[in-house]
Every structure is written in structure tokens, then in C-alpha cells.
Amino acid sequence: MFKFDQVALPQLLLRKALIIVDFQQDFVGTNAAIPINLPEGYVGRTVRLAKAFRRIGDVVWVNSKFEEVRPPYDAHMENLASGENDSKSSASSPDAFLSHEKAECVLSSKIGAEVPQNIKDDAEKKDTFLLKSHYSAFEGTGLLRFLRARMTMEIYICGSLINAGVYATTVDAAGHGFAITLVNDCCGYSSEARQIKAIEALQALTGCGFSASTKIVKDDSPNQAGVDKNSSLHGDEIVQSMSALTLKNATTAPQAAEPDARGELREAVDNAQHQIGTIPTDISPEDTAINKFHDHRAPMNRSKSGDMSEGQEGQQLRGLCEGDTDVIENLLPIELESGIFEILRDDEVQWQRMSHQGGEVPRLVAVQGEVGSDGSMPVYRHPSDESPPLLPFSSTVLAIKAVTEKQLGHPLNHVLIQFYQNGKDYISEHSDKTLDIMRDSYIANGATAKCLDNAKDVINGQTEESISMLRAFGTENHSSDFDWNAHYGKGFDVLHLRGAPRLFLSTDSIVNMKISMMLAFYEIGYASGSISQSQKSTSQHIDDERGAMEDVFIKYVDNDDDKTEVSGDLAIMLYLHANYQKKKGTMTSGELAKQFTLFQNSISLLRRWRDILKIIGDSETLIITLNAELKPWEAWASDTDCIGGNRPNLVDFALWPVLYSMVERCGNETFTDLIALRKYYDTMKTRSSTMKMLNRLQQAQ
């Protein structure tokens, strides 16, 4: 077999997690039903461990609630619960708290299943809280999915009962292939004999490591939150792990809903729509942010399906990723869910084709949203060639919206719907980057203005604002101490990020400045290109000391679908003027004639400036000659801050770079007795777009 290039293979950054099992009121609380007090001080050590561990990984609290009698996890646990010398059976031992016919603790209707309040206050929002009804933290919960999604391969386990929940969780973790360390001084027990037996059994069954809490925190430095840089997989390890992968047959697809389900769905839609008006529309995100510790919404009544128990359905996986992502399972009530696929597919949604990077995507799409009485509507930000049109919410989508808003606690204003028609339709593997408009809310993609009255123009392309947003992305991805407010807090007006246009600069600094000044004023971000020698062959080198006026080769390649190319400085200026003016005001024939005439005069001034440089050598004569050439411009500059109009235009973009070249050569004496022209020059120079252009050209030198 050929060898892999070790350098080319990816370095996978793996995370760590601390799993704290059954650390709840019934065992460690002040009025615990089954108080677990050994070893002395383990509760305080666990709290301190969790606080320190957050610098290096994720903290997951998994508590138990009683739903039905559960047998001991295995024969080992049955012996561990009773103890070798105990006369009691495991079923009657308090340690086997889920195996009693009549539960004495972990009742879901009591607070016993909750983390003690003092520990809850010390916890952070990014901590994950799960509930289980089995001894193992992996059974009937989303723990395994959470760890896999976080690329977690190394876990630390502790909890209130080493011979019950901790034992079962550790054995399951070994079965899932995790590297396990048991934090022995943070594991509670009711009997030292049971503790010793549990440790011996876990060593034999899992081969897990054991460590004190202080050593874990001391050994692990916080290089990057949750990331173990020393655990990066190397190329040979990746190859070995990939060679062991196999494929499974696909499960049988579910049958379509019965036709008569549509009538039930219509009734459910009507019922849900009656609730829409009860959702507040003026709630601020601060008021509606979901409290990850206190807001445990009751799961909806649903029939059992799969291997998930009824009590586990409808639960939320909270605090994923950076602590700001929640997964809500089984969102829709059964009466709304029944037949909903066919209703949306066949009756309500107007499906559209969508093009991305010149090709049609393999699926159908639709965008629906809230259209205001004045015609205003949200804009769906999507990296497609042309975004689908936004249509008003249909009735079924409104019903889904109402249920979703009830869960989130704030209104929603648009949705992207995608339809995969058959097995050939798909979406490429990718990762979306979505900005929060407000921390601890579910509202995304916020502009700098937070209300319609203050709305600003959207920004497209690779502008300074776009670059700032991309830099914020990079900072978040690589920094372990990311300041969200500093980078994201103000929001962004950037709507679409597209490939930047390219400007292939010439060897003429004045020509380059004319085009660059125009691009800066129109806020067109661009990438600089270079021209090969063969492309330059049709033109000669031109600098400030030459008077030759051969065509200067300069090229602009736009970022439209056709990648339009424009060559020559005049052609580029006219192209930008025709296509990128922000406010195309109506000009009279006389105004248009004046502007184009002055534009021609600006071009002629550059020609004469080069001729003057060719024939005049001494500075005094040069200044006198320049003064005579610029006399007509003194009168034209006295009318307004811009020449040829009330805002920068073709005349200014052609004239000002010539004046800049003159000032560089002759200094301020260029404007002797030309007060209006001097004021015009200084005013144009202080414009933000001009300063941006000059700064970029200076950096490129």
C-alpha cells in the first residue's frame, strides 16, 4: 500500500470532558434522602475541580430521576451495591436507588434530582446538564452525541456513588472507546468495602486510570479551552483508525403518513395559529434569554419510539459548542407533526431552484418570512449566486413558528426550507458561521442598527467591514479567551461575502491612483493582481519623468457571474461610473455636458503635465508654468467641494491624482494664488475614501 504524506494529513485537536454523575440533592444536599458523606470533603473537591476544569474542557452534570424500576447495571454492580459481607440484597440496598419497587429518592416531582443550589450558583451557563433514568449516564441521554460532536476522546468521571452511577458510566464509556480517568478523591461511597470492590472491578473491566483532582488540574495547562494539543492524532493513527471502519446497511425508510392524517394536521394548524397572538413581539433578548439552569420546560406528551424512554423525549441538550447552543428534540406535538411533510411538500411551499458558484444545487429551497405592512421584510443571508425570493409565511409554517417561538421565548421572522426529493439530492458537508445579535438569545445575524428607523445600507463584497468580520471569525476560532462583545457586540451590516474583484495595476502611479480612488469611493473591495511581461509588451514604461502617452495597460476583473474584464484606465473609469454609482441623480443635459467636458480637460491636464516635466528642469520655471495651467481650474473649484457635481465624480477621480503628483514634485507652491483649488485639494485629501486609497497604495509600494 502507498504511503501517506504525513504532513498533508490533518491534525485533529481533541477535547476533554469532566462527567459528574448523580451529584444531586438526594445524595449530596443538605436534606439528602440518601446522604453520601464519604470520603470527607469530596463534595467541595468536586466543585473546585469543576471550576478549574472549565479552563481545559467541558463540564457535564448527569443526574438521575426515577421513572421505573431498573435492574442493576450488571452482575458486578449487583455485588457492588450489596457488598461482599452485607446480608442485604442489592435490590434492598440504598445504593441501588433505581432498583427499588418503591423509590425513596430521585423522584422527578421533587427537587432531589436537581444539583444543590450552592453548586448550581457556582456553575456556568456553558456547563451541560442532563437527566437519566438508568444508572449509566450514556443510556437514554444525548451524552454520547454531545461528546462526539465536541471531538471529545478523553473523559474524567466522578460522582456521588462509585459503585452505582459512576461504575455504570465508566464501563459504558470504555465500550465507546474513550480514554478514561477516574477522579478517585471526588467519588463518593457509603461503604469503604464497596469502594474498594468498585475500584478493583473497574480496573479489571476497563483499564481506566485513577488520579487525584489536584493532579488533574496541575497537569493540564489551559492552552485552549477544551482542546488537548498533546492529543492530536498523527497520520499513522488516522490511517489505522480509518482502516477499521465498515459500512452498515441503511435502515428501512419509514412509510408515508396516511392520507387521512391531513385533516388532523389542518385542525392542529388552526389550533396552533390561535396561539400565535399570545407570543410577545416586543421582548428584548435580555428578557427572554433562556436560563439553562432553571428553565426546564415540561416535555410534550408523545408516544414512545425507538430506544428513548418517554421521560427522555422532549428534553433539551443544553450548552453545546461554546455554551451558546441548545438542541431541542421532538419539538412538534404529535397532532401537528402527523402528515406535515406532505402538506408542506405538495400544497403550501413554492419550491425554487438555487444556483451556487455557477451550478444548480441538488435540492429545492424556499424562503418564507414576515412581510410588513410597508413591504419591509427580513433578508436571508446565503452564499448563493442569487438568493430565493422571500414569500409570506404559509399557514403550516406559521404553526411550526408558533411552537418554536414558545420554546425559544422570542419571535422569529424568517425561515429557510429545503426539500431533498430523493436519494440523489444532498447538501455538501460544511460548517455554518452564524453571528449572535445578542448573547444568550436565539436571534442571529444582527446588523449594527437594531430597529428599522436606524437601518443602514447593506454592505456586499470584500470591504473593510467584511474583512473585519472575517478577522473576528478567525480570532474566535483560535483564541481561548475570546472577547465576544469587542468583536461581535456591535453587529455587522455585511450581507454577502463574495470573491473580490481584481485590479491589475499598471506601471503608472497616476493611472493606478485614479482607478484606486474610484474603487475606494464606491467601497469596492478588490484584490491586487500582477501583469505578466507579455501583457506589458504593448505598452512602454511610463513614469513622472516621461512625456510619452502610449496606452497604459491596466485591467479590472469584476466579481459578477461573467467575470467581466475591462482594460484601459478610461474604459475602467467609465465602467465603474456606469455600474457602481450609489446615487444616480438625474442630471440635465447642460450638467452632463459640463461634467464630461471637465473630465476630458482632466485627461488633457495629465498629458500636458507630462510634457512639462519633459521639457522644464528647474523648479522655479516649473511652478510658474504650472500656475498658468491651473488658472482655469481655480474658477471651476470655487463653486463647490467637488468639481463637476455636488459629490465626487469622474472629474475628481481624474483630476485629483494629477494634482497629487504636482504637489509631490513642487510642494504647496503648486497652488500659489490658487486659493479655491488649494481648498479643493485639501478637502478631497481628507475624505475617508481618499485616505484609505492612499494608505493602501503606500503599503503596496
Give percent above pLDDT 70 in the chain: 66
**Amino acid identity of 595?**
Q
Q: 488 with 367, same domain? A: no
Residue 618 — φ and ψ, nearest 5°?
Answer: -80, 150
Q: Tens of pLDDT along 444-456?
A: 656 777 777 777 7
**Over the chain, what is the mean pLDDT?**
74
**Amino acid identity of 644?**
G
Q: How confident is the model at residue 201, as a pLDDT?
A: 87
Kindly report the CA angle at 449 between 447 and 453, in degrees rounded to 5? 135
On the question of pLDDT at 535 being above 60, the answer is: no
Query: For 358-472, where are the E strands, in sequence order?
Result: 359-360, 364-369, 390-392, 414-419, 459-460
Q: 111 with 226, same domain? A: yes
359 sits in which H/E element: strand 359-360
Helix locations, 9-74, DSSP H: 25-28, 42-53
Q: 592 with 481, same domain? A: no
**Amino acid identity of 645?**
G
3-state secondary structure of 415: strand
On the question of pLDDT at 249 being above 70, the answer is: no
Bridge partners, 183 (sequence order): 211
Asked if residue 479 is part of any domain, the answer here is yes
- Whether 294 contacts 107, CB under 8 Å: no
Rounded mean pLDDT, 499-510:
85
Q: End of a domain among 218, 243, 268?
A: 243
* CB atoms inside a 10 Å sphere around CB 238: 16
17 CB contacts (<8 Å, ≥6 apart)? Answer: 57, 58, 59, 60, 147, 150, 152, 154, 155, 156
87 CB contacts (<8 Å, ≥6 apart)? Answer: none
Three cell numbers, residue 549 = 502617452
- Whether 658 contacts 605, CB under 8 Å: yes
Helix locations, 329-447, DSSP H: 334-337, 340-342, 395-408
**This prediction's pTM:** 0.39
Q: Would you call 36 exposed, middle or buried from its count of C-beta atoms within 10 A (0-12, 13-18, 19+)? A: buried
Q: In CATH, what number is assigned to the domain containing residue 642?
A: 1.20.1050.130
Task: Of 312, 282, 375, 369, give the one whose Cα is nearest residue 68.
Answer: 312
Q: 560 with 537, same domain? A: yes
Parent domain of 387: 255-438
* CB atoms inside a 10 Å sphere around CB 116: 19
Asked if residue 248 is part of any domain, the answer here is no
Task: Of 644, 632, 631, give the one whose Cα is nearest residue 596.
Answer: 644
Residue 486 — φ and ψ, nearest 5°?
Answer: -65, -35
On the question of pLDDT at 335 being above 60, the answer is: yes
Tell me the pLDDT band of 672, cut-offs 50, 70 and 90.
Answer: confident
**Amino acid identity of 184?**
N
DSSP category for residue 386: S
336, HSE (Cβ side, Cα atoms, 13 Å)? 21
Rounded mean pLDDT, 635-660:
87
**For 18-32, 169-183, 544-558, which range has the lowest pLDDT when averaged over its residues?**
544-558
DSSP category for residue 605: H
Q: 472 with 545, same domain? A: no
Q: How confident is the model at residue 67, as a pLDDT?
A: 78
Tell me the pLDDT band of 235, cut-offs 50, 70 and 90.
Answer: very low
Q: 226 with 259, same domain? A: no
Q: In CATH, what number is assigned to the domain containing residue 71?
A: 3.40.50.850
On the question of pLDDT at 433 being above 70, the answer is: no
Rounded mean pLDDT, 300-324:
49
Rounded mean pLDDT, 295-319:
43
> Rounded CA gap, 126 and 601, in Å?
65
On the question of pLDDT at 516 being above 50, the answer is: yes
Q: 482 with 509, same domain? A: no
Q: 428 with 333, same domain? A: yes
3-state secondary structure of 166: helix
- Whether 141 contacts 62, CB under 8 Å: yes
> Rounded CA gap, 221 and 127, in Å?
20
First to last CA, the chain: 50
Q: Tens of pLDDT along 133-155?
A: 888 999 888 899 888 888 888 99
Asked if residue 485 is part of any domain, the answer here is yes
Three cell numbers, residue 33 = 434522602
Q: Tens of pLDDT along 548-606?
A: 444 568 999 988 767 899 999 999 999 999 888 876 667 788 888 999 999 999 999 99
Asked if residue 250 is part of any domain, the answer here is no
Count of the separate structural domains present in the chain: 4
Rounded mean pLDDT, 96-111:
66
Tell me the pLDDT band of 399, cut-offs 50, 70 and 90.
Answer: very high
> Rounded CA gap, 300 and 303, in Å?
10
Task: Of 554, 543, 672, 675, give the one whose Cα is nearest residue 610.
Answer: 543
Bridge partners, 390 (sequence order): 367
588 vs 112, more confident: 588
Q: How confident is the model at residue 232, as a pLDDT?
A: 43
Q: 487 with 514, same domain? A: no
Residue that has been written with the C-alpha cell 498658468 in this structure = 628
Q: Which of 90-104, 247-261, 303-317, 527-541 has the highest mean pLDDT?
A: 90-104
Q: How confident is the model at residue 284, as a pLDDT?
A: 38
> Rounded CA gap, 173 and 147, in Å?
11
Q: How confident is the model at residue 655, as a pLDDT?
A: 94
Q: In CATH, what number is assigned to the domain containing residue 385?
A: 2.60.120
Q: End of a domain among 220, 243, 266?
A: 243
121 CB contacts (<8 Å, ≥6 apart)? Answer: none
Asked if residue 444 is part of any domain, the answer here is no
Q: How confident is the model at residue 438, as a pLDDT?
A: 58
Three cell numbers, residue 433 = 458561521
> Rounded CA gap, 564 and 439, in Å?
42
Three cell numbers, residue 385 = 449566486
Asked if residue 443 is part of any domain, the answer here is no
**For 40-49, 76-85, 335-344, 663-672, which range has the lowest pLDDT when averaged over its residues?**
76-85
- The shares of helix, strand and coil residues in the chain, as percent rounded to the nearest 5, are 40, 15, 45
Three cell numbers, residue 189 = 461511597
Asked if residue 5 is part of any domain, the answer here is no
> Rounded CA gap, 529 and 429, in Å?
32
Q: How confident is the model at residue 204, as a pLDDT?
A: 83
Q: 285 with 375, same domain? A: yes
DSSP category for residue 671: G
11 vs 532, more confident: 11
> Rounded CA gap, 503 and 497, in Å?
18
Bridge partners, 355 (sequence order): 360
Q: End of a domain among 184, 210, 243?
A: 243
Tell me the pLDDT band of 356, cut-offs 50, 70 and 90.
Answer: low
Q: Tens of pLDDT along 32-91?
A: 778 888 888 888 899 889 888 988 888 999 988 887 888 776 655 556 555 544 444 444
> Rounded CA gap, 67 and 22, in Å?
15
Q: 611 with 663, same domain? A: yes
Q: 100 with 134, same domain? A: yes
Asked if residue 682 is part of any domain, the answer here is yes
